[in-house]
Amino acid sequence: MSGIAAGASARPRRSQSSRVRAAFRRTGVPWLIAGPFAIVLAFPFYWMVITAFKQTTELYRLDRFPLWWHDGLTGSNVGNLFHHTPYLTWLANTAIVGVVVVAITLALSLPAGYALARLSGRWGQSMGVGIFLTYLVPPTLLFLPFSRVIAELDLQDRLWALILVYPSFTIPFAIWLLMGFFKSIPPELEDAALIDGCSRLGALARIVLPISVPGILTVVIFTFSLVLNEFVYAITFITSSTNRTLTVGVPTDLIRGDLYNWPGIMAASLLPAIPLALIYNAFLNRFITGFTGGAFR
């Protein structure tokens, strides 16, 4: 009897330990794997926050712990951006170029991607890959011909120069991505709409585009991110401070020779990063769906 009781008491202990191990595998292991990556990715934002609101005199003191405030927070770095630099102008220029380039990219890549996915038969895939290969051409190779085009059109030091150049490497990727996404949509849905009296454009607008919202959002995010981060063409074709975008204005106006205004640079980088991070996080699931539903098919 005592052996039976001991075996009965051992089984609950084993079952309890197995539940603990199963719970650790479900929650603990993912945190152990993702935790170090999250810390590494979050550290630049933490460093920007600390530096942006730190006093300059404290920044260069080696006896102070660099990852915290010791002399208190200051907003003078942000105030200097708004009152002594054309920071708001850089933000406006970046937003204008980004919105116009996104609109041009969608206007050309949506019909092209749909045509290659539905109307080109067996040549559609080959043409799509060929268009995508043009995206892989390094931008530095296109610098000389683009410079000649900008000079002939008299667009030097104007935002229209960037609006003309940027779609050359956003449209090929967008076409390739949307073509793969359109291929993932069953053509029977469009056939049913055509039978019900819709035209080809009507089926595209009422059936295909609403389903393709994740892919379209992916194109929007990718295009705007590229415009926000592009540096070579922006510093080449734009010379005046009032026409610069954020990517060029910050390093050229906040760095004077070998003097780096680190608090100002961090503040200038942090302010647009916060709303962009919130927007990207809000559409993260759709962004992932756009890539997995389109690019890898």
pLDDT tens figures, 230-250: 888 888 898 888 889 988 888
Locus of tokens 């961090």: 266
Q: For residue 72, what are the CA distances in angstroms to 55, 133, 149, 199, 236?
A: 8, 52, 52, 65, 40
Select from 171, 157, 164 the least CA-distant residue to 245: 157
| Parts of the chain with a pLDDT under 50 | 1, 3, 5-6, 8, 10, 294-297
Q: What is the pLDDT of residue 13?
A: 54
Q: What is the pLDDT of residue 274?
A: 82
Q: Are 94 and 245 in contact (CB under 8 A)?
A: yes
Locus of tokens 């003191």: 61
Q: Which CATH class is domain 85-295?
A: mainly alpha
pLDDT in tens, 15-34: 666 776 676 677 777 777 87
The proportion of the chain whose per-residue pLDDT surpasses 70, expressed as a percent, equals 84
Q: What is the pLDDT of residue 211?
A: 83
Domain boundaries defined on the chain: 2-52, 85-295
Q: What is the pLDDT of residue 292?
A: 56
Q: What is the pLDDT of residue 39?
A: 86
Q: What is the pLDDT of residue 8?
A: 47
Q: What is the pLDDT of residue 295?
A: 45
